[in-house]
Chains A and B, each alone.
Chain A
Amino acid sequence: MNALELRGVEKSFKKRRGEVVRALDSVSLSVGKGEVVGILGPNGSGKSTLVRVISTLVLPDSGHVEVFGVDAVRHPKHVQRSMNRVSVEASFFKKLSAMENLLYGAKLYGVTSAEARPRIKEILENIGFAQKRATEPMEHLSRGMQQKIALARALLTSPILMLLDEPTTGLDPRSKKDVQAFIRRIRDVHDSSILLCTHDMGEAEELCDRVGIMVDGKILALEEPDDLKRRFATNGRVPTLEETFMAATGYSVEEASAEKE
């Protein structure tokens, strides 16, 4: 049984003036147990909608979404217990401290303060987050620190499927490295399956077992990074993942991150 299985998932949104945007176009993919699958794509390619559909925040028009064999559309409460999500925006009560946000997040998953506190301490130590800063309001913390707390909050509920939607976008290089190290730790130590949406080629190549390219709601390819690159080889030269991405999508990395959804 796969950690995640999508078959023929379609999703369209009606915009004002009757325009219909096809966010997901017959998307099929799977994430095996303990596997890290990366989805590369420009902004507006449907990555965030894909994550929202899996995390039960958006209902698909058609197709099947299964998390560890359970239908996520028919049994959302069941699958919500086994997964968590970190998105590009820090979704916190900004006046509350990191500790208060973590305790609140844990309780939504049925984890009491007494159970959560030692685990929070352990996680914060592992990510090099000073305990004393945990009592400061979130709005006083840098974006990188907020993102670490977002990952800690997700990890606190021990998800067996993690959905990471551009977790390092907008972070400074140091914070980006820290967050990537944390993701590596989740993969290696916590035995979670991970779906990572990003437009950072290096991140995808380093962290993911398989990488897919998504454009206009379609997944064009989903393979191991080396196989993906070989597919776009020309004259015997294997391109970099960045060149592969450009060849597949027609976007440069800069355009991919600048394009508005």
Chain B
Amino acid sequence: MRGNVKPLWLSEMVAVWGYVQRNYFLTKRYFMWEVVWLVYVTVNAMAITYIGAGAESFGAKDAERYMTYLLVGALLWNYLSMLFDVLSETVSWERWEGTIEYTFMSPSSRVTHLLGMGFYAVVYGILQTAVTLGACYLLFDLDLSEANYWGALLVLAVCSVSLVGFGIVAAVLPLLSPEKGQQVSYIVSSVLLLVSGVYYEVDVLPGWMQAVATVSPVTYALRGARDALLEGAGVTDLWANIWPLLIMGVVFVPLGLFVFHLGESYAKRTGKLKRSG
């Protein structure tokens, strides 16, 4: 307000909360859709886990362990892909609502904008994954006797940062091409699913796909989380998967913000911020 001058950092914090609160309000308004999505995700995780149960009839020896392996993959992919999707849909969602120009002419910075989106996605994703895990826990005899839950959470936290950076890079696509940008980000998401070893070991893939897997944060997150949950690996053992995630976080987040800045400048030069493009 006029005459009510706050320090810049405080104004930005208020704006971060604004984005988080807005997304919470939207979740409330679309509550039935959220329920439908939660049911879908949970049933999907269960169906994938049953593949493990059915594998016994094909000669698999340790079905319980295989089921746990698949469930961890399904849950982590649900969480990580949701995080990626929320970030990558930042622009296209606002363009669809028609609010993008209002948001982009506000004085809150783009870092604040994306931080708010990322923070909400992490909290929402954790809650959704916890509900799905709870439901699956009731249904299956999972082999989690050795699980190091804190280790798995550490891997997940580090991966979330690098995936936020990855998502920010994808978020720029609708700025470059209002019509096709979002579709390209779905392709990126599907490639991550294919190469990152969500439901199988990366070793089974052709060599070139394994090479792509080395730059996917999801690959390291899955390996680390499985080591922690299935083998009970401690932080020392998990380090082999944590350090690539740390490096990716350090590289992808600033890179994402830089690419987004370039994309925003391009959209402002060419007039592509406008809803009709």
Q: List chain A positions with a Cβ less than 8 A from chain B.
A: 13-14, 49, 52, 55-59, 77, 80-81, 85, 87, 89-96, 100, 103-112, 115, 119, 137, 156-158, 160
- Asked whether B1 is an interface residue with its Cβ less than 8 Å from the other chain, the reply is yes
Q: Are B97 and A59 in contact (CB under 8 A)?
A: no
Q: How far is the CA of A85 from the CA of B107 in the complex (A)?
A: 13
Which residue in A58, A100, A105 is a CB contact (below 8 Å) of B268?
A58
- With a CB–CB cut-off of 8 A, which chain A residues contact B268? 56-59
Chain A residues, CB < 8 A from B103: 108
Given contacts A107-B14, A110-B6, is CB(A13)–CB(B99) below 8 Å?
no
Is B25 in the interface zone, CB < 8 Å from A? yes
- Kindly name the residue among B30, B102, B107, B108 whose own CB sees the greatest number of chain A CB atoms within 10 A: B102
Among the listed B6, B26, B101, which residue makes an inter-chain contact with A87, where contact means beta carbons less than 8 Å apart? B101
A-chain residues with CB within 8 Å of residue B61 when the two chains form the complex: none
How far, in Å, is B105 (CB) from chain A's closest CB? 5
In the bound complex, what is the Cα–Cα distance between A59 and B273 (angstroms)? 11
Would B270 and A160 count as touching, CB distance under 8 A?
A: no
**Total number of B residues with any Cβ neighbor in A under 8 Å:** 38
Partner of A59, one of B25, B26, B269: B269
**28 intermolecular pairs with C-beta atoms under 8 Å apart:** A14-B270, A55-B101, A57-B273, A59-B265, A77-B109, A80-B107, A85-B102, A85-B105, A89-B98, A91-B101, A92-B97, A93-B26, A94-B97, A95-B26, A95-B29, A96-B26, A100-B25, A105-B102, A105-B106, A108-B18, A108-B107, A108-B108, A109-B106, A110-B11, A110-B108, A111-B4, A119-B1, A157-B1
Task: Name the 5 nearest CB pairs between A and B, nearest first.
Answer: A107-B18, A110-B11, A158-B2, A108-B106, A80-B107
Question: B10 — which chain A residues lie within 8 A by C-beta?
Answer: 110
Q: A80-B106, A96-B29, A108-B18 are in contact. List 16 more A-B contacts (CB 8 A).
A: A13-B271, A52-B274, A58-B273, A85-B105, A91-B99, A92-B99, A93-B99, A104-B18, A104-B22, A108-B103, A108-B107, A108-B108, A109-B11, A110-B6, A112-B14, A115-B1
Tell me the smallest distance from the CB of A33 to a CB of chain B, in Å. 13
CA distance A132 to B84 in the complex (A): 38
Establish whether residues B1 and A57, one from each chain, have CB atoms under 8 Å apart when the complex forms.
no
**Interchain nearest-CB distance for B198 vs A (Å):** 33
Check B1 against A111 for contact (C-beta < 8 Å): yes
Q: Is the CB of B101 within 8 A of A107?
A: no
Q: Is B21 an interface residue (CB 8 A)?
A: yes
Known: A13-B271, A58-B268, A107-B15. A158 touches B97 (CB 8 A): no
Q: Is the CB of A81 within 8 A of B29?
A: no
A94 to B26 CA separation, bound complex (whole angstroms): 10
Q: How far is the CB of A191 from chain B (nearest CB, A)?
A: 9
Q: A residues within 8 A CB of B140?
A: none
Which A residues are CB-close (under 8 A) to B109? 77
Contact B271 A58 (CB under 8 A): yes
Q: Which residues of A contact B97 (CB under 8 A)?
A: 92-94
Chain B residue numbers with a CB within 8 Å of A107 are: 14-15, 17-18, 21
Q: A57 contacts B104, CB within 8 Å?
A: yes
| Min CB gap B58→A, angstroms | 47
Alpha-carbon separation in the docked complex, A89 to B2 (Å)? 26
Interface string of B24-36 (1 = CB under 8 A from A): 0110011000000
Tell me which of A104, A108, A111 has the highest count of chain B C-beta atoms within 10 A of its own C-beta.
A108
- Expressed in whole angstroms, the Cα–Cα distance for A93 and B93 within the complex equals 10
Q: Which residues of chain B in 83-139 are interfacial with respect to chain A, using CB atoms and an 8 Å cutoff?
A: 97-99, 101-109
Chain B residue contacts of A89, Cβ below 8 A: 98, 275
Residues from chain B with a CB closer than 8 A to the CB of A92 are 97-99
| B4: chain A residues within 8 A (beta carbon) | 111, 115
| Chain B residue with the shortest CB-CB distance to A48 | B274
Task: Please determine whether A111 and B14 come into contact, CB atoms closer than 8 angstroms.
Answer: yes
Residues in B whose Cβ lies below 8 Å from that of A100: 22, 25
User: B15–A95 contact, CB under 8 A?
Assistant: no
Residues of B within 8 A of A87 (CB): 101
Q: Mark B234-277, 1 if CB is under 8 A from A, else 0.
A: 00000000000000000000000000000001001111011100
A60 CA to B183 CA in the complex, in Å? 30
Contacts of B26 in A (CB 8 A): 93, 95-96
